[in-house]
């Protein structure tokens, strides 16, 4: 009989934070979907018109592969199963639901898999628009705070590109979303919208890094429930990305449209007979 285990993993909070280090920090309360009104000193969620992010690697692990005493991930020591490596697969954009099948050559270790880690290339491109009353607001090429306002519909909003270089920003101030004492320049234990995970900048050799050396972003979160596998496990992990943007306003106008926490809906489906 087919058994289905559904896991929810929330990742990507770093993108919003990276753009707002020198702006008022949003409340840590739950951020709701936009309802047609302009938010007032808070944010609401809309679906992105376009969302481009490239994943370098995905692993499920029995223990945390990148604890805070290490300077690089240890996939072997954490007994990880590599589900995706962009050098071996072209399925690295997650524009649609992706299935990652277990196979004999993955060297599966018997036990409970309680962590999932995802490595992104440090380059993200999005666009979106929002209508409130008689006005439309849309993203521009200049970034999340350079919002275009129009009385006519903006059919195709402009895409903008961003990268993360420092969790503490140019002024080296505590990041209120990072519970590890405001974060370091390269590492943040994120607590946002009720969810927790760790985000770490890495260089081209997967060594912890910040600034212009940040070529990849590593994210790790605990799985719930734990996925128990044996050496002969048959099945696949299914991942789907929900692509949301955050609309922020002052009550009378939209002042920014930025990447929101993006949600991976992750399912493990056993095909054992």
Task: State residue 262's pLDDT score.
Answer: 62
At residue 11, the pLDDT reads 39
Judge contact between 217 and 101, C-beta under 8 A.
no
> How confident is the model at residue 239, as a pLDDT?
82
In this prediction, residue 164 carries a pLDDT of: 84
pLDDT on residue 176: 76
What is this structure's pTM? 0.82
Identify the pLDDT of residue 93.
Answer: 67
Which residue, among 147, 184, 160, has the nearest Cα to 14 in the 3D structure? Answer: 184
pLDDT at 197: 85
pLDDT for residue 14? 36
Low-confidence ranges of the chain (pLDDT < 50): 1-28
What is the pLDDT, as a whole number, of residue 7?
42
Q: Beta 40-47 vs 98-101: how paired, if at all?
A: unpaired
Beta bridge partners of 221: 116
Q: What is the pLDDT of residue 244?
A: 87
Report the Cα 199 to chain-centroid distance in Å. 9
For residue 62, what pLDDT is reported? 97
Predicted local distance difference test score (pLDDT) of residue 88: 63
Strand ranges inside 75-215, DSSP E: 80-85, 98-101, 111-127, 129-132, 135-140, 143-150, 160-162, 187-192, 195-202
For position 19, what pLDDT does the model report?
34
pLDDT in tens, 198-217: 999 999 999 999 999 999 99
pLDDT, position 94: 66
Q: What are the backbone angles phi and psi of residue 36, rounded to the nearest 5°?
A: 100, -15
């Amino acid at each position: 009989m087919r058994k289905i285990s559904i896991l929810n993993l929330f990742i990507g909070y770093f993108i919003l934070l990276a753009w707002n280090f020198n702006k008022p920090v949003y409340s840590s309360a739950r951020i709701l979907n936009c309802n047609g009104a302009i938010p007032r000193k808070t944010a609401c969620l809309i679906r992105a018109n376009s969302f481009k992010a490239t994943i370098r690697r995905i692993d499920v692990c029995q223990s945390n592969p990148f604890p805070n005493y290490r300077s690089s991930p240890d996939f072997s020591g954490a007994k990880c199963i590599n589900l995706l490596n962009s050098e071996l697969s072209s399925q690295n954009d997650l524009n649609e639901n992706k299935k990652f099948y277990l196979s004999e050559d993955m060297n599966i270790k018997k036990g409970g898999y309680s962590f999932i880690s995802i490595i992104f290339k440090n380059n993200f491109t999005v666009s979106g628009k929002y209508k409130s009353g008689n006005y439309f607001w849309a993203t521009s090429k200049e970034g999340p705070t350079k919002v275009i306002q129009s009385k006519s519909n903006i059919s195709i909003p402009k895409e903008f590109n961003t990268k993360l270089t420092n969790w503490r920003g140019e002024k080296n101030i505590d990041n209120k979303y990072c519970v590890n004492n405001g974060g370091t320049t390269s590492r943040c234990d994120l607590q946002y919208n009720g969810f927790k995970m760790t985000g770490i900048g890495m260089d081209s050799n997967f060594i912890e890094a910040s600034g212009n050396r940040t070529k990849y972003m590593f994210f790790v979160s605990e799985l719930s429930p734990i996925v128990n596998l044996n050496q002969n496990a048959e099945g696949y992990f299914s991942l789907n990305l929900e692509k949301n943007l955050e609309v922020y306003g002052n009550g009378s106008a939209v002042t920014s449209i930025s990447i929101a926490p993006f949600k991976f809906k992750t399912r493990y489906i056993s095909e054992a007979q």
